[in-house]
Amino acid sequence: MRFTRNIFALVAAMFMGVAALQAQDVIDMSVSIDQDTAELLGENNTLALRNKLSKIITRNGMADAEGFFALVPSIAITDDGIVDTGMAKMRVMYADLTLSVVNIVDGTVFDSQTVALQGNGNSDEACLRAIINKLNVNDARLSKLLRDARTSIDAFYERQMPNLMKKVDTMIATEKYEEALAALSLIPESVAEYNEVCDKRVEVYNRVLEIETSRLLAEADNLVRMGRIDEALEKCRMADIMSPNYGDVVAFLKRLDEEAAAAEAAMLEQKRLEAEAARSRENMDQCAKSKGENIKQEIRKSKSNESGGKSISQSLFGL
């Protein structure tokens, strides 16, 4: 077996890792509509409101994506009545639509804005759809809401950074690595200390990789002791080449190479010795056979000399 590190894959992985940790000036913000609001609006109106709020997010420099911040709407019906237009009666509904920027993990509300809207229709659903349609995605008040919320988010985390980092250090010290990574992920890229956050994430991630690599190596070593080499090699393949202790995997594989080579050499030497022993036994057998023939010839010659050259009949009958 021979192990070769793919340098191109290593460089690509390092490049992608660094790029992912670079600060970006965009905050991910999703639309979060609670169950009560969704039940009030109905399925179609809920979808219509979600699409309109998504446009408001993207038009104000945010990313419409799942993250730790959300634009949360709530609707309060302030008045609802029937207006007689002379030709027909029309339902009129007045509502206050409040939009709040919320940290969906801890519930912190960074900022909110209420917009008064009116909708007409012949049913609750139609009136609510008219109210949603009246919501202007270019409303300056909503743009200010998101700008102010952005500033509040940055200020909130910058104030909390010392406490947050202390909590993260405590999590790391107690080996709560998943919690530490989750806490670090809450901090947006726009804070001034984001490079420090990235360094801490790398530190935690490296520690997680070290633990996982050590676990895989222990399992691989145990498999080798049981003679299950292929399974041990599969464990080694599962190790991340970015782990700080990946050199231990390389050393382990090198050791397997050396042990395999030594075992192969010992096997070849054993075969050589067995072959030499076989040849030696064959030579001894040939020598013994040759000596046996010589002894037989000597015996026959000796007997012939003892008979004085007489014929067999003379020797037998004394003639």
d(CA 317, CA 319) in angstroms, rounded, equals 5
3-class state of residue 294 by DSSP:
helix
Cα 307 off chain centre by: 101
> Is the pLDDT reported for residue 220 higher than 60?
yes
> Is the pLDDT reported for residue 112 higher than 90?
yes
> Is the pLDDT reported for residue 25 higher than 70?
no
**Tokens standing for 274?**
């067995």
* pLDDT > 70 fraction of the chain, expressed in percent and rounded: 79
pLDDT in tens, 266-307: 676 677 777 777 777 777 777 777 777 777 777 767 766 655
d(CA 243, CA 214) in angstroms, rounded, equals 10
> Is the pLDDT reported for residue 196 higher than 60?
yes
pLDDT at 194: 85
Of the pLDDT bands very low, low, confident and very high (cuts 50, 70, 90), residue 181 is: confident
Of the pLDDT bands very low, low, confident and very high (cuts 50, 70, 90), residue 101 is: very high
pLDDT in tens, 38-96: 999 999 999 999 999 999 999 988 888 887 789 999 999 999 877 766 666 778 999 99
pLDDT at 3: 36
Which pTM was predicted? Answer: 0.56
Q: Name the CA dihedral angle for 60, 64, 68, 71, rounded to a multiple of 10 degrees.
A: 60
**Tokens standing for 91?**
């339902």
CATH architecture assigned to 27-158 = 2-Layer Sandwich (3.30)
Taking each helix axis from N to C end, the angle separating 194-225 and 177-185, rounded to the nearest 10 degrees, works out to: 150
Of the pLDDT bands very low, low, confident and very high (cuts 50, 70, 90), residue 106 is: confident
pLDDT at 118: 93
Edge-to-edge strands, sheet with 63-64: 63-64, 28-31, 69-84, 89-103, 109-121
Of 85-89, 138-142, 229-233, 312-316, the range with the lowest mean pLDDT is 312-316
Phi then psi for 82, rounded to 5 degrees? -110, 130
For the chain, residues classed under CATH 3.30.160 are 27-158
d(CA 79, CA 124) in angstroms, rounded, equals 12
Mean pLDDT, range 176-205, rounded to an integer? 86
d(CA 109, CA 149) in angstroms, rounded, equals 9
Q: Write down the residue that tokens 């940790």 correspond to.
A: 21
pLDDT at 47: 95
Report DSSP state, residue 92: E
Which of 178, 186, 180, 182 is closest to 157 using CA atoms? 186
